[in-house]
Amino acid sequence: MMILKDIKKGVIDMKVEETAELTKKALDEGFKPEHILKEALIPAINIVGDEYERGERFVPEMFLSADSMKGAMEILRPLLVESGIEPAGKVVMGTVKGDLHDIGQNLVCIMLEGAGFEVHNLGVEVPAEHFVEAVEEVGAHLVGMSALLTTTMIHMRKVIEALKRAGLREQVKVMVGGAPVTHDYADKIGADGYAPDASAAVKLAKELMAQLKGESRQKEGKMYQASASTLEYNLRSQIEVQDEKNLLGGLRRPAHYLKSTMRACIIG
Ligand code: B12
């Protein structure tokens, strides 16, 4: 466990190279990547944040600690990600406009990739229109937005509005996260889900994919039903006209047969 303490200290003390070396060593010693992340890296960066809040640390120092954590995460990345053959879904992810914080969202991306999602990471300070373009370009199922500042989280709503304007809101599910974001806030801005950390984000992404599939199946069902009713209506009118004219009286049976066949298709 000593090595985990050293990694934690490495991030806090802004030792970029040393933290990376220690992370490699911990892996060689058999520590699991998730363990290194949860027991050393995340607690360390939280301490850095607390120190900044108390005025004991300045931005450049916060930067160096962040770099130390990012270096370690790059080493862990391939181990956290195992590539699936069929993507579980396509995700467009980014930190919203005006916000430079990307450690958390990178972590969410890594964990989503690990769970078999195809992730398109747009990086930081992403304006609403870039989210929209990316959704269109890759045919995304999910949009993930991250914000770490109370002053930038308002941009999440703007992205949702831009998706609506582009006529894409119905075809994607939107999930949001980041330290100042809450469940209530997600509801307020019309997002589909919120998760407090990377593992919860994976669970949420899977749930949203299931919802999306359910909705598209329902839509397909409604379309079949609509075309079945139209077909039935057309046939009935034809038959009635023909009945009236007393031409093809026997056609009523095939019409019923066709209707029940179509019902069977819809239910099947
Ligand atoms: C590192 C850091 C920085 C680094 C960022 C480097 C980088 N490449 O990311 C630097 C030095 C650049 C920085 C700058 C600033 N920072 Co800063 N920073 C932090 C710090 C210490 C850590 C953030 C972090 O990486 N946490 C670790 C990760 C793993 O956690 P996370 O981001 O919360 O992500 C998890 C979840 O939130 C969730 N999640 C995240 N995104 C998403 C997305 C989705 C879709 C989902 C589902 C889930 C999800 O899952 C993640 C993984 O578990 C925080 C303090 C803190 N403890 O949060 C302050 C903090 C966020 N910063 C703060 C401030 C004020 C600033 C500055 C304004 C300082 C300044 N005066 O210049 C600037 C702003 C720059 C800008 N325009 O963005 C404040 C924000 C206050 C507020 N409420 O608005 C904080 C809270 C510090 C503090 N205690 O005051 N910062």
What is the CB neighbour count within 10 angstroms for residue 59? Answer: 8
Sign of CA dihedral 99, 101, 104, 106: positive
pLDDT (tens digit per residue) in 164-205: 999 999 999 999 999 999 999 999 999 999 999 988 999 999
Mean pLDDT of 230-238: 65
Residue nearest to atom 48 of ligand 1 (CA): 177
Q: Checking phi first, is residue 89 left (phi over 0); if not, alpha (psi -120 to 50) or beta?
A: left
The per-residue pLDDT of the chain, averaged, comes to: 86
The token pair at 67 is 């770099």
Query: Which residue has a Cα nearest atom 61 of ligand 1?
Result: 148
Q: How close is the Cα of 37 to the center of ligand 1, in Å?
A: 16
Residues 206-223: pLDDT tens digits? Answer: 999 999 988 877 777 766
Average pLDDT over residues 232-254: 54
Residue nearest to atom 27 of ligand 1 (CA): 104
Q: Cα-atom radius of gyration of the chain, to the nearest Å?
A: 26
Of the candidates 128, 137, 142, the one whose C-alpha atom is nearest the C-alpha of residue 171 is 142
What one-character-per-residue DSSP string does 24-73 give?
Answer: HHHHHTT--HHHHIIIIIHHHHHHHHHHHHTTSS-HHHHHHHHHHHHHHH
Q: Whose CA is nearest to atom 7 of ligand 1?
A: 101
pLDDT of residue 1: 76
Distance (Å) from CA 18 to ligand 1 centroid: 23
**pLDDT at residue 248, rounded to an integer:** 45
What is the reported pLDDT for 240? 59
Question: Does residue 96 sit in helix, strand or coil?
Answer: strand
Distance between Cα 139 and ligand 1 center (Å): 29
| C-alpha distance from residue 194 to each of 142, 188, 201, 208 (Å) | 13, 11, 8, 11
Residue nearest to atom 67 of ligand 1 (CA): 59
Is the pLDDT at 249 greater than 60? The verdict is no
Cα separation of 85 and 159, whole Å? Answer: 31
Backbone phi, psi, residue 73, to 5°: -65, -35
- Among candidate residues 113, 121, 110, the one with its CA nearest the CA of residue 144: 121
Instruction: Please give the number of the atom of ligand 1 that sits closest to the Cα of 101.
Output: 9
The two structure tokens encoding residue 172? 């994607």
Q: Atom of ligand 1 at shortest distance to CA of 145?
A: 45
Q: How far apart are CA 194 and CA 258, in angstroms?
A: 47
Predicted TM-score of the model (pTM): 0.81
The pLDDT of 144-171, averaged and rounded, is: 97
> What does the pLDDT look like over 41-86, one tens digit per residue?
989 998 998 998 899 999 899 889 989 999 999 999 888 876 444 6
Could you tell me the distance, in angstroms and rounded to a whole number, from the CA of residue 179 to the centre of ligand 1?
7
DSSP 126: B
